[in-house]
Structure 1
Amino acid sequence: MSGNVPASTRTLRVLTFLATQPGPVPMERIASAVGLPRSSTYHLLKAMISEGFVVHLPEEKRYGLGVAAFEIGSAYLRHDPLERLARPLLAQLVADVGQTAHLGVLHGRELVYLLKEQPPRPVTLVTDVGVRLPATLTASGRALLAELPAPQVRALFPTPESFVRRTDAGPQTLSQLRRLLADERRQGYAIEESHITPGFASVATAAVDHVGHPVAAISVTFRTESVPPEAIPALARRTKQAADALTRRLHG
C-alpha cells in the first residue's frame, strides 16, 4: 500500500480484513494483509482500539474486532432490508407453530427486538419491537453470542458488573456464560425459561452472514405450560429452519 493512501482507507481495510477472520490475529498478519509497515499498523490499531473498533488481547498478542464494530454492523442490520427478508419467514413460523416469533439483533451487551409476529390469539409479552434486554438472559441473545469468537464474548463481558440481573436467573460470570454457550452450541439452539418473564420460555437460533458472523436470531416464545418438555426440540428445529432460511436469503 503506497504512502499516499488515506488513513480512512487503511482503517477500512483493517476492519474488512478482521471481519473475514475466524478470530483475533497477530499484528504481523494484519500488516501483511493491508500492506502497511509494522510501525504504521501498530499506531493505526492503537487508534482503533481507543475508539472501540478493535480489541487487543495482550496475553495472546492478537487483535480482533471490538464492540463498536459489532454495534455498527447491528445498526446496519436493523434497517429495512433485514426486516423485509425476515418478515415472511416469521409469519410462516408463527403459522406453523402457533406461538409468538421474534427477530432480534445484538447491540453491545443487549438484544434488540426488530420484528414480532403473533398468532391469532397472542399472549402479552414484554418483548415488543424496539425493546432492549440483556443478551445473556434471552435465548436470542445467547444464540448470537454462541456464534461469536470467545475473545469477542470476553470483550463484551469483561467483569461481573457486565452481567445484569432481572429474575435472579441466568449467568453472572464469564465462566458461567461460556459454559452455557458451549452447552447450547452443542444442542443446536439456545433456550431460556423464566429468565425474562416468569412462566414463559423461548428457543432461538442464529442466522449468519457469508463469513459466519451472527447477524440476527429468530426465536419462538411460549407459555411453559403450553409446550411439554419433550416437544421443545421439535419446536427448536422448526425455529432453526427459519433461521437457516434467513441465512440463505442474506447470502443472496
Structure 2
Amino acid sequence: MPDTADVPAIRRAHDILRTLAAQPGPVKAAELMRACNLPRSSLYLLLDSLERRRWIERREGGYIVGIELMALGAAYLRHDSLQTAFHRVAAEFVARCNEVVQLAALDGFEVVYLAREDARRPVRLVSDLGLRLPAHACALGKAMLAGLDPAELDARLPAKLARVTERTLATPEALRRELEEVRRDGLAQDREEVTAGLVCFAAYVGVTPLGKRLAVSTSIPSDRLDNAHRQAAIAGIRQVARELAKLTAALP
C-alpha cells in the first residue's frame, strides 16, 4: 500500500542520495536518471538544489555525497556516547588480538556500520562507516537478527535473499537454521559470505535506550586463522559485547 503522506520531492532526493552513497566513486547524471527512474528535467532540478546545499558535490564529471550531508549524518552519532564507549572496550581487544573490531546497528534488514577500531596491521575490509550490508550476509546482521522475536523477524525478512558471494545464505530457511545456531551459541559467523578470504565473528550487544539494536564483530583473513587465534578472537569479541552492553545500558 502506498504511503499517502509521502512527499515525492523528498523521496526522489532520498533515492539520489542512496544511489550516490552506494557507489565508490562519482556517479554521472545519466546513471542517476536510470537508477532513480527520473525525468531529465526533474533530475537536474534536484541535483542543482542538492548541490547548492552541499548535500552533493560534482566530481570528475559526476556527483558524490557532499560535505554538508556528512556533517548532518555525524550528528546522529553525537546523540549519545556510544562511540566513546565502543572505542574504550574495543581498544583492549585490539591490544590482545591485533584484529579489527566493528560496531553496527540494525536498520530494517540492513546492517549499518557505526564505528571501527583498527588493528595494527592491514586487513581487507568493507566496513567503512555508514556502509550498509544485507543483514543475512554478515555476522553482525545474524547476531542482531537472532535477537528478534519470530514475528518481527518475519516482518523484516525479504522473500528473496541476495547473494554477495557464492557462500552467502540464499534462502530464508537456511537463514532461520543458522539463527537457531546463533541463539544457541551466542556467536554469529560469516564464512566468506561478504568477502572471499575473510571470516567474521560477531556477538550481540543489545538495544540501547534510544532503540538501537547493536552488535560487534571482528574480521580476520582465513589464511591466518589457526585454531588458537580463532578461540582467542571468539572469546575476545564476546567479552567486548558484554562490556559494551554494560556501558550502553547507562547511555541517554
- The whole-number CA distance in structure 2 between the counterparts of 1:150 and 1:197 is 29
Amino acid at match of 1:131: L
Offset of residue 209 of structure 1: 3.5
Which SS does the other structure have where 1:159 is aligned? coil
The answer to whether the Cα contact below 8 Å between 2:137 and 2:168 also exists between their aligned partners in 1 is yes
**Which residue does the alignment assign to 1:165?**
163
The answer to whether the Cα contact below 8 Å between 2:103 and 2:216 also exists between their aligned partners in 1 is yes
- Unaligned segments of structure 1, at least 5 residues: 1-48, 52-74
Offset of residue 168 of structure 1: 2.1
Change (3 A) 1:225 1:155: same
- The whole-number CA distance in structure 1 between the counterparts of 2:131 and 2:158 is 24
2:116 pairs with 1:147: no
The answer to whether the Cα contact below 8 Å between 1:201 and 1:221 also exists between their aligned partners in 2 is yes
- The whole-number CA distance in structure 2 between the counterparts of 1:192 and 1:127 is 14
Render the CA deviation track for 1:170-229: whole Å, top value 9, x for unaligned.
322222111000012212200112111111110000111489x87211101111111114
The answer to whether the Cα contact below 8 Å between 1:140 and 1:190 also exists between their aligned partners in 2 is yes
Amino acid at match of 1:141: G
**Which residue does the alignment assign to 1:177?**
175
Amino acid at match of 2:130: G
- The whole-number CA distance in structure 1 between the counterparts of 2:95 and 2:166 is 33
Which SS does the other structure have where 2:181 is aligned? helix
The answer to whether the Cα contact below 8 Å between 2:168 and 2:194 also exists between their aligned partners in 1 is no
**Which residue does the alignment assign to 1:135?**
135
Offset of residue 232 of structure 1: 2.2
Change (3 A) 1:233 1:100: same
Offset of residue 158 of structure 1: 4.2
**RMSD (CA atoms):** 2.5
- The whole-number CA distance in structure 1 between the counterparts of 2:147 and 2:76 is 19
Kindly, what percent of the aligned residue pairs are identical? 32
Alignment TM-score, normalising by the size of structure 2:
0.64
**Which residue does the alignment assign to 1:89?**
89
- Unaligned segments of structure 2, at least 5 residues: 6-74
The equivalences for 1:30-109 within 5 A come to 79-109=79-109
Query: Segments of 4+ in structure 1 off by > 3 A?
Result: 75-80
Alignment TM-score, normalising by the size of structure 1:
0.64
- The whole-number CA distance in structure 2 between the counterparts of 1:135 and 1:239 is 19
